[in-house]
A and B are shown apart, each in its own frame.
Chain A
Amino acid sequence: MFYIYCPYCGEHREEEEFHPKGEAHIARPADPESCSDEEWGDYLFFRTNPRGIHHEMWVHAVGCRKFFNITRNTATYAILETYRMGEQPSITDDTREPLEVAQTPTETTPADNLEGVRA
């Protein structure tokens, strides 16, 4: 059972309040009309599906109903950080995964922290 920190609500909530919404940071082609079939198909269907660090969108479906991002390890299921839409992850495949990551916000008032919260 995940206990997920919503960067908008600024609180940890149970997994059942959320829905996973697939891989994050997939940019829609700026000009779809000029895409080749290859580019458009890749955008729609092809995914990185890593065993390890994965950046993914979730929606706080029965909470604030906002989308946000999670960096999670798909093998251990450990949630490494959550951050707002439009922000970039601070933990990526090539930054070494910290051994123990507390899922608690480190900033003082997470909800006011416009940088988003590492959680």
Chain B
Amino acid sequence: MQRYSGFGLVKHALSHHENWQRQWRNPTPKKAYDVIIIGGGGHGLGTAYYLAKEFGIRNVAVIEKGWLGGGNTARNTTIVRSNYLWDEAAALYEHSLKLWEGLSQDINYNVMFSQRGVLNVGHTLQDMRDIQRRVNANRLNGVDSEVLDAKGVQELVPAMDCSQNARYPVMGASWQPRAGVARHDAVAWGFARAADAYGVDILQQTEVTGFKIRDGQIHGVHTNRGDIEAKTVGCVTAGNSGVMAKMAGLKMPMESHPLQALVSEPLKPVLDTVVMSNHVHGYISQSDKGDLVIGAGIDGYNGYGQRGSYPTVEHTLQAIVEMFPSFSRVRMNRQWGGIVDTCPDACPILSKTKVKGLYFNCGWGTGGFKATPGSAHVFASSLAKGEMHPIAAPFSIDRFNTGALIDEHGAAGVAH
């Protein structure tokens, strides 16, 4: 793999940027691998990367039915933070945030991780009590977090209406300075390129259509390009995970919903942080290109259509205009949907299954982008060792039968 650097950029300029190496190969599938990862989103590609880099398992295939990142990875609004309430979730998301902080160097790919901070705004007394509780819990877990009053919020975000004239006046916010945003495609591409350099086969346009299970042990997968064998299979298919589970004869506590996002026409810099509100129910940031990146809630019905309904778009924009009246004339450029796999406790599933050797990493719902490197890392460790990593262990599928749920509906509040 040719390393990317400032020097390389200058060197390639001399040949009009026509000689850049392909970022990854396009191999034909082998008959068998040590590990198969299903799903070429950030979590799947990252898992393959850490398997190869940290655990020396390089005979790995990532099987993706479409193109890399074409699922939720490149449909999301890229908010990265770790200010979750419960110890288990804070450990997982903070592990991830630490990996984000060195990710561009680690995979030699600029994922444009920008630690511009995230505000979770409160508009009621109860919001503020919840924010205080969460900030205190965060601090006990070593997660940077502060409580701001309305004045503090207004200083950080001059464009926001923090006055008493607002219909739901801002009372304060939690503030995580180390949080921020990143470039979503770069995460998929960067992990793909780095994994490929270790010899991982990335098989695009290859759909898993069934599992080969004998005597309760996984033996491989059926695909539209023939059968591929492996004794360890990790299924990382986000919104399609319910369908995948059914193929393996498993049941899941998840439902798939459309989640939409919008971007506006590009504006001059107006918002240099991320603003989220559970109560008014919307969130917004501004990309480096200048477009406002906007989202809110899922469409309430089950759906696999990668599109949502107009009432949801309308509610989303109402919330944004409520917080930022000056954005009322901004035109929206694009709108799209992804299929998110939501769990009853708003936490993911990182788990073994009843089929030996078959693992699932799913249920990230509306907020798994921030967890990409951390989830991939602990999942790779679990696949390599055959035992769930201690950070992953509480997220077992068994929790829905034992009752040990990890209720993050507060911290997950507005879907993102």
A residues adjacent to B (C-beta < 8 A):
1-2, 15-16, 19-20, 22-23, 37-38, 40-42, 44-51, 54, 56, 72, 74-77
Q: Which residues from A are CB-within-8-Å of B301?
A: 20, 56, 72, 74
A42 to B250, CA, bound (A): 12
Given contacts A19-B300, A20-B301, A37-B403, whether A49 and B310 have CB atoms under 8 Å apart is no
Contact with A along B231-254 (1 / 0, CB 8 A): 000000000101100100001111
Q: Report the Cα distance A34→B301, complex, angstroms.
A: 32
Task: Kindly provide the distance from the CB of B255 to the nearest chain A CB, expressed in whole angstroms.
Answer: 5
Whose C-beta in chain A lies nearest to the C-beta of B305?
Answer: A77
Q: Mark B283-319, 1 if CB is under 8 A from A, else 0.
A: 0000000000000000011111100011100000000
Q: Which residues of B in the span 130-149 have a Cβ within 8 Å of any Cβ on A?
A: none
Q: Which residues of B contact A51 (CB under 8 A)?
A: 240, 242-243, 256, 304
A2 to B302, CA, bound (A): 13
Answer yes or no: B126 CB below 8 A from chain A CBs: no
Chain A residues near B309 (CB, 8 Å)?
A: 1-2, 15
Q: Who on chain A is nearest to B303 by CB?
A: A74
Q: Is B305 touching A41 in the complex (CB atoms < 8 A)?
A: no
* A42: chain B residues within 8 A (beta carbon): 251, 401
A37 touches B402 (CB 8 A): yes
Residues on the B chain within 8 Å of A23, using CB: 255, 302
The 6 closest A-B pairs by CB, nearest first: A41-B401, A49-B242, A45-B253, A20-B301, A45-B400, A20-B300
Whether the Cβ atoms of B251 and A41 lie closer than 8 Å is: no
CB–CB A49/B401 < 8 A: no
Chain A residue numbers with a CB within 8 Å of B300 are 19-20
Residues of chain A contacted by B251 (CB below 8 angstroms): 42, 46
Q: Establish whether residues B256 and A45, one from each chain, have CB atoms under 8 Å apart when the complex forms.
A: no
Question: Please, which residues of chain B bring their CB within 8 A of the CB of A15?
Answer: 309, 311
Chain B residue at smallest Cβ distance from A41: B401
A51 to B242, CA, bound (A): 9
